[in-house]
Structures are given as C-alpha cells and as structure tokens.
Amino acid sequence: CQYFRITYARSWWFSMSLTIGVLSIQGDVQENLLSTKSAFDELGIDGTITDVKTPDEISQLDGLIIPGGESTTIGQLSLVNGSLKVLKEKIDSGMPVLGICAGMIMLSNTANDRVVGKTDQPLLDILDITLERNSFGRQRESFETEISMDSINIPKFNGVFIRAPSVSDVGSDIEILAKYNDKIVAIKKGNVIGTAFHPELVEDVSLHKYFVNLVSSLKN
C-alpha cells in the first residue's frame, strides 16, 4: 500500500499534473486509491493519487475524495487535527470533492439518523440537503442494485449500499444525479459530488473517471 502510493507520487513530480487525495482519517482509503489510479490509467492522465490527513497535505490538492466509513469519527478527528477548517476553505474556493457515503454526510449541512434522530457531529456545511443516515438499514441490510446517472453520462452503474444514507430534499442549487426507490442517492453541486453508494467497491471506475476529468477541467 505504501509502496504504491510513493511510486505513483514520484511520477507526478516529473509530470507536474493533477494531484488527488483520499482523506485517510478512517474508512475505505485503499480502495479509492486503487480506483482513482485505474481512472488515471484508463484516461491516460498523468498525476498522483495519495492519502492525506493533515491541513498541509490537504492544502496542496487539486481534488479530494472523502471515503465511506464512520462519518462521526471522520468529522471529530478532522476537527481535532485542524483539517476540517482547511477542507471547507479549499472546497469553498473551488476544489472538486467526491464524498462517498460518510463523505456525503460530511459535506451536508444537517444529518439525521433513522434510529437516533438528529445527530450532533462536525459537518462541512457545503450541501443544502435533508439527509438521513442509515436510511436503508444497518450492515446486515447492505445490498447492490443498478442505478443510472444519465446527466453525467453514466447510464448504468452497480451501486453498493452499506449502511447508506439517502437524501429526501435538496436546495435549489443541488442537481439530483440518481434515485433508488424514490430516495435520492447521488447529487452534485458545481464542483462537489455526493453518493450514498460505494463506487470504489466495483470494477467499474466510471464515476472515478468522471471525477478525475472534473478535477482536470477545473485545473486547466
């Protein structure tokens, strides 16, 4: 894992192109590193994909993936080490972000839990959405299903839902990318994408490729 990260980063120092980070506080870090590397390779784009956790590391990024995991843990530890403030500043200034499951929760302005109700957890307050954690049930109720994201040219994608949130209402600046059983499971606001499902757990890297292209277009 470490060897992959360092050697891929070295290639970037010579090409001076994109650098995309995966927030490595907690969650599916390695899976997103590998999916993003595959997206780079398939697109023929030079760059580096690396794990980040400190404010200094985050400040150097062109784009960031906030992976699935425990949103409360990610938020609390990001608050403690000072990353939360830098994350919000970078996103507000235009850095593209892909928030996956817990990552989408982190990007929201409110988070309610299907069982315990309103939660008191650190959030980035980027997305104006009504979000419910664990909307489809707990771990044993995880499932896979085909979804469509036609507006970003991904007509068919295998969504993996693990303790997934859902969105029931969105602000006027939020684009709905996908629904499942009338629940919103993927959204976009300018440079920010949020998904309730885990695209890093399937071989199809279409969504990671879309994100890499988004980062590339904004940098160029």
The token pair at 138 is 């707990």
Residue 198 known to be catalytic: yes
φ and ψ of 141, to 5 deg: -100, 15
Residue 1 known to be catalytic: no
Catalytic residue, from 31, 132, 200, 208: name it: 200
Catalytic residue, from 101, 146, 175, 208: name it: 101
φ and ψ of 97, to 5 deg: -140, 135
Catalytic residue, from 42, 89, 144, 198: name it: 198
Residue 175 known to be catalytic: no
Instruction: Please list the active-site residues.
Output: 101, 198, 200
